[in-house]
Amino acid sequence: MRPDAPAERIAGFVRTLRREGYGIGVQETLDAVRAAALSDPLDAEFLRAGLRALTCHDVAQWHRFDALFENYWYPARAPLPNELSAAETIDPRLAARRREQRGGLTGLAHAMDPDNIYSAEIQQIGAGASRQNTLSRSDFRFLTDRRDQREIEVLAERLALRIRRRLRRRRREVARGTHIHMRRTMRRNLATGGLPVHLRFMERRREPPRLVWLQDVSHSMASYSPLLTRFGRGLLRVFPDAEAFVFHTRLFRVTGLYREVNADALRKRLEARNELWLGGTRIAESLASFNQRYAGRYVDRRAIVVILSDGMDSDSPEDLTEAVRVLRQRAHRILWLNPLLGCEGIRVAEEFPPALRAMLDFIGTAHSLDSLARAAEYLARA
């Protein structure tokens, strides 16, 4: 292993903390490297205490530190989660790589031991899968590296496109029906020697729902707009008759923009539309404008309406509740995705009044790739 490998590992751990929301600057990084140089390479607990004191700024970060420390330095000790991350859902090879790395050697003592016989390539394989999983869980607004941001934007669009496979299936399996699903029935009765004791049925899948995308592009949502725009663009490619709208103090129809084939061209066309990017937010008035101008044409009993907003509205909560109530009378489902729900200490009850919550079928966060995966799964089932 190269002599500067311990310093690189410390810097990598600091970057991991920064992606998790820790406010760590250059000076803290240099102090962490100095603390590692002063400690015994095999004394992991001494370094753990030093790094905790340098990087934690509040009680919540203090409590989260141990889990992040263990996951980074000793991935073999960390429990293997049952659920796949969003990145692993998109690329199954990452899940296999994550299981393989548990047999690798990326612990603190060996990483700082100059006599370690393991090559850097082994650590890089484990770090690659860990990086993808870390990016999937990271709050998008804290991703300061442009390469990481672009990577998550691309993954968000690929995540939305995965719904297409489920929507294009002409038939689906059901417990009871009139048409026997021969392949499932034969597989289900292998234990009985092929005797069809347990029958499986199939039925024709209904027509895919219509998607209506309503995205808040006000100043308070600027940090999440690139991620949500790519996710919305992917959904419009999946749902054939989907419609997209953005709003701040006014409402704009952007379906043609979101159906742009080239992602770079989409970015340039959005940046050229200066009227789309303002500071204020009037959610209630924008939804009321949508109800008046577009709902009669685009929203029916098979329509799923997705609202993406942090809820920071200059209109009154009563006006917002009334606008959603009118929309509720037409739509089949209403989903509200709020990136702020991913922030520590923010609760649904504080952001959504009871009357408004009662009219929403799904309330979720949209601050990371994993949170968008949960929303995509709901859309696929709905």
Whole-number Å distance between alpha carbons of 153 and 170: 30
Q: Which amino acid is at 302?
A: R
Q: Does residue 225 sit in the same domain as residue 89?
A: no
Q: Does residue 9 sit in the same domain as residue 112?
A: yes
- In 3D space, the residue among 352, 317, 318, 316 whose CA is nearest the CA of residue 334 turns out to be 352
What pLDDT does 165 receive? Answer: 66
Q: Please, what are the averages of pLDDT over each run of 10 residues along the chain (382 residues)?
A: 62 82 79 76 75 83 83 65 61 59 42 39 44 74 79 83 67 73 81 80 73 92 88 88 91 89 78 70 93 94 92 87 94 92 65 85 89 87 73
Q: Which amino acid is at 338?
A: N
What pLDDT does 66 receive? Answer: 84
Q: Does some domain include residue 359?
A: yes
Whole-number Å distance between alpha carbons of 249 and 289: 11
Helix/strand/coil for 112: coil
What pLDDT does 112 receive? Answer: 42
Which DSSP string do the residues of 36-105 spell out, in sequence order? Answer: HHHS-TT-HHHHHHHHHHHH--SHHHHHHHHHHHHHHH-TTTS---SSPPHHHHH-HHHHHHHHHHTTS-
Which residues is 355 bridged to in the sheet?
A: none
Q: Does residue 327 sit in the same domain as residue 214?
A: yes
pTM exceeds 0.75 for this model:
no
Helix extents (H) in the chain: 5-19, 26-38, 44-55, 59-73, 86-90, 92-101, 108-111, 120-137, 146-161, 163-167, 182-188, 225-238, 255-258, 263-272, 283-293, 295-298, 317-328, 348-351, 354-357, 369-381
- In 3D space, the residue among 356, 213, 341, 217 whose CA is nearest the CA of residue 275 turns out to be 217
Whole-number Å distance between alpha carbons of 46 and 36: 9
Domain boundary, last residue among 87, 111, 137: 137
Helix/strand/coil for 237: helix
Q: Does residue 281 sit in the same domain as residue 313?
A: yes
Cβ atoms of residues 248 and 310 within 8 Å: no
Q: Does residue 277 sit in the same domain as residue 178?
A: no
What pLDDT does 325 receive? Answer: 95
Count other C-beta atoms under 10 Å from residue 15's C-beta: 18
Q: Does residue 28 sit in the same domain as residue 57?
A: yes
Q: Does some domain include residue 146?
A: no
Q: Does residue 184 sit in the same domain as residue 259?
A: no
Residue that the structure tokens 């021969």 belong to:
182
Decide the pairing of beta strands 243-247 and 251-253. antiparallel
For residue 188, which phi and psi values (nearest 5 degrees)?
-70, -25
What pLDDT does 285 receive? Answer: 93
Q: Does residue 192 sit in the same domain as residue 97?
A: no
The total number of structural domains in the chain stands at: 3
Q: Does residue 227 sit in the same domain as residue 108?
A: no
Q: Does some domain include residue 155?
A: no
Decide the pairing of beta strands 179-180 and 171-174. unpaired
Query: Which residues span the domain enclosing 181?
Result: 171-204
What pLDDT does 80 receive? Answer: 47
Q: Does residue 131 sit in the same domain as residue 69?
A: yes
Q: Does residue 104 sit in the same domain as residue 224?
A: no
- How far is it between the farthest Cα atoms of the chain? 74
Q: Does some domain include residue 163?
A: no
Cβ atoms of residues 338 and 365 within 8 Å: yes
